[in-house]
Amino acid sequence: MEFAIAIILSLDEVEGRGVLKNQLLRSATSIGANIREAQYASSRADFVLKLKIALKESNESEYWLELMERTHILASEKAETLLKACRHIRYMLVRSVNTAKANGRSN
């Protein structure tokens, strides 16, 4: 949720480029929503699926952040801070998916 809040607040500072802002907003806020859904998954497979969706959304968010930084829509310093957070989330999601899959095989 903290990442989504940081994105929302950062995009409030950006003028114009509504389509790009909306794409980033959708993907970035979807990460936390899918992680939250995973907490109440109906099965291990459902849990892994929700985390994989969050992982895809984090990858998409990284793309939009890089694009907005390279086109100077988002200040480089702000973009780098958000990219660092996004990459950290992605790293944690990859590890979580791998752990959940490995634990599922042992059952």
Mind giving me the DSSP string for the chain? -HHHHHHHHHHHT--S-HHHHHHHHHHHHHHHHHHHHHTT-SSHHHHHHHHHHHHHHHHHHHHHHHHHHHTTSS-HHHHHHHHHHHHHHHHHHHHHHHHHHHHHHT-
Domain ranges of the chain: 2-105
Q: What is the mean pLDDT of residues 91-104?
A: 92
Domain 2-105, what fold?
Answer: de novo design (two linked rop proteins) (1.20.1440)
pLDDT digits (tens, 9 = 90+) for 28-67: 999 999 999 999 999 999 999 999 999 999 999 999 999 9
* Banded pLDDT at 106 (limits 50, 70, 90): very low
The predicted pLDDT at position 107 comes to: 41
Task: Please give the model's pTM, rounded to 2 decimal places.
Answer: 0.89
